């Protein structure tokens, strides 16, 4: 990558150096193989976990890295520039650890969090459903009191790490209609009645497993309820603010990779006796791409710094997610255009970048939802 970073500490610089070493030495050489075989790279996540990278924003007392979000997001960006599916998986795992950390009891944190952030386990976040979609407050999966526990019935859709996760945050209806009737529960992957379905056949991110999860009478102990009953929607929305920053950082990493590849190609590819980078049409396109990537990076860092300072950041997270993912779609599309016909074949990674960019505009809240969040912050 061609990025010069202003980091808050020398230790953060050392961390970025370690991440680049792992990303270049272990991830980048393997991405094409795993994507071609559509295989989930579980061992790569174990490597990142053993390197201390799967719990970066969580406190050391729970096995985390105690890093500010500003640093964690730049780690995600570095990894996304080499292998988006890995970075997206890291973001989802970090999101999956959040409910227990932010809303769990002291006993729940002591019991669960160290294993979650320690690197060996992988988490998933079960909020979306096929019918509710962006209207998460209308979800239909239900958790009913049954003796000393909750029995869950329903189906969750588009679950990253579905079928490969070790634990699932499950948002289910324990009360009446609307957001106030939703609660959050923690389920182990081996819970009887928890049934992952066949992986979806996706346009991109072929090495990321996405699947429906069917809950058929899955029984969870009462102590797996995270926070009081009825605050699940609050937990979900709070977690998504952080998750949107993670997706923004992933989008910037992907866009940076596309920009770097397009610049290198334009320097080497000659037409009419000179490199195509010297033609104004190409040069201006690259200039716009670079400007958009830099602006997207500034937006997610601003949101992260507000979060680190304990200040409200929900609108900034929505702005960052909206702009960064739209930027990734534009920049990857333009990178294909710079390469011309070569960009349309899989010999070059830009065609994969373009396919991968599309989903970034959809998950963690579609970009239409981000515009709604931003508009409401302005008018309420």
Residue 307 has pLDDT above 70, yes or no: yes
Fold of 123-233: Butyryl-CoA Dehydrogenase, subunit A; domain 2 (2.40.110)
Query: Nearest to residue 89, comparing CAs of 17, 159, 13, 191?
Result: 159
pLDDT digits (tens, 9 = 90+) for 136-153: 888 999 999 999 999 999
Residue 1 has pLDDT above 70, yes or no: no
Average pLDDT rounded to a whole number, residues 40-57: 95
Q: Which CATH architecture has domain 10-117?
A: Orthogonal Bundle (1.10)
- Sorted by sequence, the CB contacts under 8 Å of residue 40 that are 6+ apart come out as 34, 164, 207, 208, 209
* Region for residue 87 given its phi and psi (left: phi exceeds 0; alpha: psi -120 to 50; beta: otherwise): alpha
Model pLDDT, residue 132: 82
The beta-carbon contacts of 327-330 under 8 Å, at least 24 apart in sequence, are: 327/251, 327/252, 327/255, 327/292, 327/293, 327/295, 327/296, 328/251, 328/252, 328/254, 328/255, 328/258, 328/296, 328/357, 328/360, 329/354, 329/357, 329/358, 329/360, 329/361, 330/289, 330/292
| Residue boundaries of the structural domains of the chain | 10-117, 123-233, 234-379
**Element at 89 (helix H, strand E):** helix 84-103
Model pLDDT, residue 329: 98
Residue 2 has pLDDT above 80, yes or no: no
Report CA-CA distances (Å) from 254 to 50, 93, 134, 261, 296.
Answer: 25, 19, 25, 11, 12
Task: Look at residue 123 and give its three-state secondary structure.
Answer: strand
pLDDT digits (tens, 9 = 90+) for 199-231: 999 999 999 999 999 999 999 999 999 999 999
Query: Measured in Å, how far apart are the chain's first and last C-alpha atoms?
Result: 41
pLDDT digits (tens, 9 = 90+) for 249-299: 999 999 999 999 999 999 999 999 999 999 999 999 999 999 999 999 999
Model pLDDT, residue 134: 78
pLDDT digits (tens, 9 = 90+) for 85-106: 999 999 999 999 999 999 999 9
Model pLDDT, residue 56: 96
Q: Which CATH number fits domain 234-379: 1.20.140.10, 1.10.760.10, 1.10.150.530, 2.60.120.10?
A: 1.20.140.10
Q: What is the mean pLDDT of the chain?
A: 95
Residue 239 to residue 184: CA distance in whole angstroms: 12
Residue 42 has pLDDT above 80, yes or no: yes
pLDDT digits (tens, 9 = 90+) for 258-268: 999 999 999 99
Residue 84 to residue 246: CA distance in whole angstroms: 12
Model pLDDT, residue 136: 82
pLDDT digits (tens, 9 = 90+) for 120-138: 899 999 999 998 877 888 8
**Beta carbons within 10 angstroms of residue 127's beta carbon:** 26
Assess whether the region 10-117 and the region 234-379 belong to the same CATH fold: no
Query: Nearest to residue 123, comparing CAs of 161, 155, 156, 154?
Result: 161
User: What is the CB-side half-sphere exposure of residue 27 using CA atoms within 13 A?
Assistant: 25
For 171, list phi and psi in degrees, rounded to 5: -100, 120
Question: Catalytic positions, please?
Answer: 364
Average pLDDT rounded to a whole number, residues 150-176: 96
Residue 211, beta-bridge partner list: 159
Q: Quick check: 295 and 252 in contact, CB under 8 A?
A: no
**Element at 143 (helix H, strand E):** strand 142-146
Among 67-76, 236-245, 284-293, the least confident range: 236-245
Task: Look at residue 169 and give its three-state secondary structure.
Answer: strand
């Amino acid at each position: 990558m061609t990025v010069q970073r202003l980091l808050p500490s020398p230790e953060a610089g050392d961390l970025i150096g370690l991440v680049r070493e792992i990303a270049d030495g272990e991830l980048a050489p393997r991405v094409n193989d795993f994507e071609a075989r559509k295989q989930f790279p579980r061992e790569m996540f174990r490597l990142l976990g053993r390197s201390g990278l799967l719990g970066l924003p969580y406190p050391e007392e729970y096995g985390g890295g105690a890093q500010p979000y500003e640093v964690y997001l730049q780690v995600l960006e570095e990894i996304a520039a080499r292998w988006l599916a890995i970075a997206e998986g890291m973001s989802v795992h970090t999101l999956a650890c959040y409910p227990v950390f932010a809303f769990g009891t002291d006993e729940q944190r002591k019991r669960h969090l160290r294993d979650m952030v320690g690197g060996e386990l992988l988490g998933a976040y079960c909020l979306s459903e096929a019918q509710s979609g962006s209207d998460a407050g209308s979800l239909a999966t239900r958790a009913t009191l049954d003796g000393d526990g909750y029995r869950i019935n329903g189906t969750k859709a588009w679950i990253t790490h579905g079928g490969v996760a070790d634990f699932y945050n499950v948002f289910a209806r324990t009360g009446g209609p609307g957001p106030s009737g939703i609660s959050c529960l923690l389920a182990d992957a081996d819970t009887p009645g928890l049934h992952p379905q066949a992986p979806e056949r996706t346009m991109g991110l072929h090495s990321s497993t996405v699947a429906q999860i069917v809950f058929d009478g899955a029984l969870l102990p009462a102590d797996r309820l995270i926070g009081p009953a009825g605050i699940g929607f609050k937990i979900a929305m709070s977690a998504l603010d952080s998750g949107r920053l993670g997706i923004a950082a992933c989008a910037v990493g992907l866009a940076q990779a596309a920009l770097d590849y397009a610049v290198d190609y334009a320097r080497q590819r000659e037409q009419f006796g000179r490199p195509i980078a010297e033609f104004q049409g190409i040069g201006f396109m690259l200039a716009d791409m670079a400007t958009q990537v830099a602006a997207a990076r500034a937006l997610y860092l601003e949101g992260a710094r507000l979060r680190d300072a304990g200040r409200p950041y929900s609108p900034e997270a929505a702005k960052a997610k909206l702009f960064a993912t739209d930027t990734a779609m534009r920049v990857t599309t333009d990178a294909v255009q710079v390469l011309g016909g070569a960009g349309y074949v899989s010999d070059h990674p830009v065609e994969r970048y373009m396919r991968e960019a599309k989903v970034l505009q959809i998950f963690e809240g579609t970009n239409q939802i981000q515009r709604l969040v931003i508009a409401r912050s302005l008018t309420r």
